[in-house]
Amino acid sequence: MGAAPRKAMRVEGEAGASSEPVAIRRRRTQAERRAEAESRVLAAAAEIVADKGVDGLTLAEAGERAGYSRGLAGHYFRSKDELLAAMAEAIHDEFTQQRRERLRGTTGLARLMATIDASFARTSVGMVKIRAYIAVLMGAAHKPALAEAVATFNRDSATEFGRLIASAIEAGEIRPDIDARTQALILSAALRGIMAQWVLDPEGVDLARIRAEFMGLVSHSLARPPS
């Protein structure tokens, strides 16, 4: 008699438990685990470079700071320069995505100005990534692997600006005597230089004021005067 209630309670408890939905965790694929590991190593590399510069980075420290073994970064990246290039590319891709979101619904000269505005808004990705990216740009001159990656970033930036300027010229919003390629290189170099100065001296460089002045200068110098 005494055992019956206990059995009834156990059965009732089992029935109650089985009526609740059970969450089944999907096992991540090897590709997903690798992607997460690489992402964490790249983030760790950015922290190290932001703090110590490109020469202060080691594959071992990147792997360890990412929460893995000291040898993991070397498993994914063949050299420190390859890791640096991949880190800079990941940050560059984040900048690109941020810019595309700001360009929605814009055309002509307004689209060009929105692109310039987005370049100043890169601060939203955080000082660590900005410092790491600028460090790679500044340290690429004597590192062939980095120089190739930085040259690609520069070409992409100039090509994008050139396309936007040409489109605005065709729309009649920018002076027809403007050379799109030349202006694109000037804009790209000027924006990189401004951001580098801000990274080196964030307290002494009033980025908000420079942003307003720069955009005003560009609009005034490129815009087609009313007929």
pLDDT of residue 45: 96
Asked whether residue 9 carries a pLDDT value surpassing 70, the answer given is no
Q: Is residue 20 very low, low, confident or very high in pLDDT (cuts 50, 70, 90)?
A: low
pLDDT of residue 114: 93
Q: How many CB atoms lie within 10 A of CB 17?
A: 9
Are 145 and 221 spatial neighbours (Cβ–Cβ below 8 Å)?
Answer: no
The larger pLDDT score, comparing residue 14 to residue 222, is at 222
Are 223 and 168 spatial neighbours (Cβ–Cβ below 8 Å)?
Answer: no
Q: For residue range 188-197, list pLDDT tens digits in order.
A: 999 999 999 9
Residue in the structure block whose two tokens are 């420079």: 210
Q: Which of 16-20, 118-122, 216-220 is most confident?
A: 216-220
Q: Counting Cβ atoms within 10 Å, is residue 77 exposed (0-12), middle (13-18) or buried (19+)?
A: buried
Which structure tokens are listed for 10? 């156990």
4 φ, ψ (degrees, to nearest 5): -60, -45
Asked whether residue 172 carries a pLDDT value surpassing 70, the answer given is yes
The larger pLDDT score, comparing residue 217 to residue 10, is at 217
Please give the Cα distance from 167 to 111 (Å, whole number): 9
- Domains in the chain: boundaries: 81-222
Helix ranges (DSSP H) in 125-179: 127-139, 144-170
Q: How many CB atoms lie within 10 A of CB 104?
A: 8
pLDDT of residue 7: 45
Q: For residue range 67-88, list pLDDT tens digits in order.
A: 998 888 888 898 999 999 999 9
Give the length of the chain: 227
Please give the Cα distance from 218 to 186 (Å, whole number): 11
Which structure tokens are listed for 207? 């980025």
Q: Counting Cβ atoms within 10 Å, is residue 67 exposed (0-12), middle (13-18) or buried (19+)?
A: exposed
Q: For residue range 112-145, list pLDDT tens digits in order.
A: 999 999 999 888 888 999 999 999 999 888 888 7
pLDDT of residue 18: 52
pLDDT of residue 28: 73
Domain 81-222 sits in CATH at: 1.10.357.10
Asked whether residue 12 carries a pLDDT value surpassing 50, the answer given is no
